Structure formats: C-alpha cells, structure tokens
Amino acid sequence: MRPEGYYEHFSMSITDSISRLSGYYSRNGFAATIRRASLAARRALFSNRMVVFYCDLATQKLPMAVPPSQRKVEYIKGFAELKPQDLHMMTSFWNPELAHRNISERFAKGAWLWLIKSGDDLAGYGWSLRGLTIEPYYFPLASEDVHLFDFHVFPQYRGQGMNPLLVGHILHGLARNGVSRAFIEAAEWNEAQLASLRKTPFHQLGQVSSFAIFGRKFIHWTGNENGERPQETKQGGSNAPAMARTHEQ
Ligand SMILES: CC(C)(COP(=O)(O)OP(=O)(O)OC[C@H]1O[C@@H](n2cnc3c(N)ncnc32)[C@H](O)[C@@H]1OP(=O)(O)O)[C@@H](O)C(=O)NCCC(=O)NCCS
C-alpha cells in the first residue's frame, strides 16, 4: 500500500525536474545544460546516498554563536512578511515559477523561513518545519521534532561561515520554542554542505539510500560508526531506524 500522496508526489517530482531543466536551459544554453544533466545523472547513479544529521536540543548544550556586526538572523512565518527584494533574491537564480510555488507550499504547511542578512542584503536562508516534512522522509517525525531543509548561501558569501552561523541561530531559536530534536541531511557528494554542517552542533546519524523494487520503496541505513542515537522523546516518535538496516517505506 502506497503512502497517501505517493503518486502525486512522484509525478510532481518529474514535472519539477523537467521545469528546472528547461529553466536552466533558457539561462545557460545547450552545452551547459547537457553538462548539468550528465552531472545530475552521475550523482543519481553513483553518489545517491544522503547523510542524515540530528541534534538533541533538549539535552545538548548549544554554544551561542555571536554574529559579527552587520550580520543578523531573522525568521518569518508567511509570504506577507517576505520583503520583495528578498523574494527576488530567492527566486531569480533558478526557475522563478517553481520557486514561488515551493515557498507558498512551505508556508502553507507551517514552515518557517530563516534569513541571514549582511547589512540589508540577503546572504542566505534555510527552512524549518515542525512535526512533518514537505517530502516523504526516511522515518516519521514526532510532534516536537523539526526538519531543517533547503539551505542556500549566495555565492558571494560562501566560505565565510554564514551557514554554520545561520544553523546555530536556528537551533537556539527552536530550542527556545520547545523543539527537542532537529534533523537535517546533505547529499554525500555535497562536500561544502557536509563541511559546513560539521561546524554546527549537529551529529551524524547515518547514511541512507532509497531504492525501488517492483514499485515498492525501500530505505537502507548504514554507517553510524559512533553508535550515536538521538534521545527518545516522551512521545517516542521519530525513532530513526537502527543502522545497517533495510526497511520498506
Ligand atoms: C552548502 C552551503 C549552504 C554552505 O554555506 P557556507 O556559508 O559557504 O558554509 P561554510 O562557510 O561553512 O563553508 C563550507 C564549505 O564550503 C566550501 N567553500 C569555501 N569557500 C567557498 C566558495 N567561495 N564557494 C563555494 N564553496 C566554498 C569549503 O569546502 C567550506 O568548508 P571549509 O570551511 O571546511 O573549507 C553553500 O555552499 C550553498 O549554498 N551551496 C549551494 C546550495 C546547497 O548545496 N545547499 C545545501 C543543500 S540543501
């Protein structure tokens, strides 16, 4: 039996991929699009695991990162609060139509958008969503769990510690709001995001890959060498599966 929304999600993913590719083509031309598509195919075939991280906000002592002057972090809970220039920054570097749709869908589901500013300029952003995920996840989240997703630092600000600063602030903000565990993941090929997350209070939970056999979706976990596990919460909840285990989703 498929989870609710499985087919809608599957067909939307394909439509979105086509839409993203055509947007990339109109901005960058044929040769660059072929290079990009072949890189995406290589990653999908040979480097498709995700590295999942967690942070126990209830028990872990979080160091407070003081932002250098000129930098500040803020969060918003709805489209109306998003300044036009920030919206433009967030939507103009890829398919604007798809980007608008994603932002609306996320706010509608209750996600918070976290912005890191350098002066008045938007340097980067990331999203948090409590108790659920936008797309099907590897395990169910508990009501006091939060998923962090879609982090982006604009190219001119990369390598300056913006992302760790933003993530650190988000974790503090969430802890103040009664969240007990946070989860985030990065593709195994994404060295920049992996290096960046290792500068934050997140711990690696394991690596996960998903695959389909005869239309059934399976999740395979490996590689939590330290045996680290997030704390169980009162409600139980997310309970990420034991490592080196395959289960059907
Ligand atoms: C991943 C990302 C959010 C990291 O943000 P950041 O603020 O640059 O993070 P950091 O400053 O901690 O740098 C992380 C790593 O980026 C790499 N890096 C350094 N300078 C860089 C530059 N000018 N351009 C690109 N990457 C750079 C380095 O590997 C660095 O690790 P190191 O400090 O150990 O050398 C950012 O690179 C980004 O937006 N990438 C595209 C979107 C993405 O992949 N998002 C994550 C998945 S949702």
Q: Are residues 174 and 202 in the same domain?
A: yes
The pLDDT of 146-173, averaged and rounded, is 97
The pLDDT of 237-248, averaged and rounded, is 56
pLDDT at 35: 83
Q: Are residues 17 and 115 in the same domain?
A: no
> Considering the chain, what is the average pLDDT of its residues?
85
Q: Are residues 89 and 10 in the same domain?
A: no
Higher pLDDT among residues 240 and 201, named by residue = 201
Size (the chain), residues: 249
pLDDT at 92: 92
Residue finishing a domain among 31, 46, 61:
46
CA 123 to chain centre: 17
List alpha helices for the chain, DSSP H.
6-46, 84-92, 96-108, 162-176, 191-197
Instruction: Tell me the C-alpha distance between 23 and 95, whole Å.
Output: 5
Q: Are residues 42 and 151 in the same domain?
A: no
Most confident of 27-36, 102-111, 230-239: 102-111
218 pLDDT band, cuts 50/70/90, is confident
∠ CA 152-131-58 to the nearest 5 degrees? 85
Q: Are residues 21 and 63 in the same domain?
A: no
Q: Are residues 159 and 42 in the same domain?
A: no
In the reported structure, the alpha carbon of residue 55 is separated from the centroid of ligand 1 by a whole-number distance in angstroms of 20
Residue finishing a domain among 28, 46, 64:
46
Are 57 and 171 spatial neighbours (Cβ–Cβ below 8 Å)?
yes
For the stretch 20-78, pLDDT in tens is 777 778 888 888 888 878 777 777 766 689 999 999 998 888 877 677 788 999 999 99
CB of 158 within 6 A of ligand 1: the answer is yes
Q: Are residues 6 and 59 in the same domain?
A: no
The pLDDT of 127-138, averaged and rounded, is 94
Q: Are residues 217 and 235 in the same domain?
A: yes
pLDDT at 68: 79
CB of 193 within 6 A of ligand 1: the answer is yes
pLDDT at 234: 46
Instruction: Tell me the C-alpha distance between 16 and 216, whole Å.
Output: 22
Q: Which atom of ligand 1 is nearest to the CA of 165?
A: 7
Q: Are residues 202 and 90 in the same domain?
A: yes
Structural domain boundaries, residue 106: 47-248
For the stretch 166-214, pLDDT in tens is 999 999 999 999 999 999 999 999 999 999 999 999 999 999 988 777 7
pLDDT at 41: 75
Q: Which two tokens stand for residue 137?
A: 């996840």
In the reported structure, the alpha carbon of residue 73 is separated from the centroid of ligand 1 by a whole-number distance in angstroms of 18
CB of 43 within 6 A of ligand 1: the answer is no
The reply to whether the predicted model has a pTM over 0.85 is no
Taken in order 139, 142, 145, 149, the sign of the CA dihedral is positive
Higher pLDDT among residues 151 and 39, named by residue = 151
- Tell me which residue of 68, 93, 198, 62 sits closest to 155, measured CA to CA: 93
Q: Are residues 63 and 106 in the same domain?
A: yes
CB of 113 within 6 A of ligand 1: the answer is no
Are 248 and 146 spatial neighbours (Cβ–Cβ below 8 Å)?
no
Q: Which atom of ligand 1 is nearest to the CA of 154?
A: 39
Most confident of 139-143, 146-150, 214-218: 146-150
Question: How many domains, the chain?
Answer: 2
pLDDT at 8: 54
pLDDT at residue 136 is higher than 80: yes
CB of 165 within 6 A of ligand 1: the answer is no
Instruction: Tell me the C-alpha distance between 123 and 152, whole Å.
Output: 9
List alpha helices for 94-161, DSSP H.
96-108
Strand partners, 186: 51
Q: Are residues 58 and 6 in the same domain?
A: no
CA 235 to chain centre: 24
Q: Are residues 213 and 137 in the same domain?
A: yes
* Block residue for tokens 């040979």: 46
Residue 96 sits in a domain of what CATH number? 3.40.630.30
